[in-house]
Amino acid sequence: MTALQGKRILITGGAGFIGSRLTRALASAGASVVIFDNLLEQVHGPAPELDLAGELIRGDVRDAAALSAAVQHARPDIVYHLAAETGTGQSADEPSRYAAVNVVGCANLIEALKALDTPPQRVVLAATRAVYGEGAYVDADGLTFAPEPRSVEAMAKGVFDLFDAQGRVLTPAATNETLPPRPGSVYGSTKLMQEYLLQQTPAPWDVVVLRLQNVYGPGQSLRNPYTGVLSIFCQQAMAGQTLQIYEDGEIYRDFIFVDDVVAAFVAAARRQEAGGRLFNIGSGEASSILAAADMILEDLGLVDQGRRISGAYRAGDIRHAVADVTRAHAELGWSAQVPFRDGVRQLVEWARTDTSMTATKAR
């Protein structure tokens, strides 16, 4: 184990949902933290109220000069790269923006780090399960593989399951890190490129890649239409809207509570043997979107308001996601601690009292 006491740490995107919690965890462990974040209004609102345990430098990873200056100022021992554009749907509408932030921004960071007289020891990347695309499935012959993304034409006909070349229904399976990437969205492709850039650029630091599943919890933006589905449901339910469940309701995700994700990031810095490795970070359990919507409505006391299985779909969305987290357990000494039902209650309790949404409604 590597102690964090006295370590200098740079976090790009450190003012965000995960990053702000990570700054506090690292500071409490005795690290000195510098945060580089553009405070995007889509995420933070026009007048963000920040609770950060580090020095904030406002800037954009697309601005190579500003990022280089922040890196020179921080002189980090450890770097966490969290800054990214997220959201499958938005990435299809704005591919150049996603490529600029996720791909060029990551390249800018690498070049800035290589210019340091004393380079960092480790870079930890906030990656995503979206690089797997549909993820692991098993066919009727017992073969595990990653199928092609579902076609818009099939989903338009209400066909949402996945099939093999012989037309047989495939069975979803837990996805482990050995499954070859097969992203089905611009977002997933740009995030995979971040992994490739960090892994393929010769550098004196080692790289740890954490492929996050669906992160949720208190503090997740309720105003951003491209944030996690659970916070979107909270916002819609509190606004008196009927929740719209896509496809036939049989969409499954591996939801992981934000505090568990922060613990994984801390472990990625502390575990010396994690260098050069990639890990799935999830609960290891699949939960349906339909069941999640029902939990939120129940906790808000809005069951009568209801939800509707709409049959709507989005190109690039995946059907079933659950992570095999065996490697993270064995090599990071990490496992999820917050059960999904408990985590949803915490999210709803926070959403009820979120002052930013109260102010938005008042306007």
**Cα pseudo-dihedral 280, 284, 290, 292, rounded to 10:** -90
What gap in Å lies between CA 201 and CA 114, rounded to an integer?
Answer: 10
Six-digit token pair at 36?
């580089």
| 11 touches 35 (CB < 8 A) | yes
What gap in Å lies between CA 114 and CA 162, rounded to an integer?
Answer: 44
Q: What burial class does residue 206 get, using C-beta atoms within 10 Å of its C-beta: 0-12 exposed, 13-18 middle, 19+ buried?
A: middle
Amino acid making up residue 73:
H
| 319 touches 155 (CB < 8 A) | no
Please give the DSSP secondary-structure letter assigned to residue 16: S
- Options 80, 98, 132, 187, the catalytic residue: 187
| DSSP output for 231-296 | HHHHHHHHTTPPEEE-TTS--EE-EEEHHHHHHHHHHHHH-GGGTT-EEEES-S--EEHHHHHHHH
Please give the DSSP secondary-structure letter assigned to residue 169: B
The CA-based angle 333-335-336, given to 5 degrees, is 155
Please give the DSSP secondary-structure letter assigned to residue 161: S
- Could you confirm whether 187 is annotated as catalytic? yes
Contacts by 226-232, CB closer than 8 A, 24 or more apart: 226/42, 226/86, 226/87, 226/89, 226/90, 227/17, 227/43, 227/86, 227/87, 229/253, 229/289, 229/292, 230/255, 230/292, 230/296, 230/344, 230/347, 231/347, 231/351
Residues tagged active-site: 187
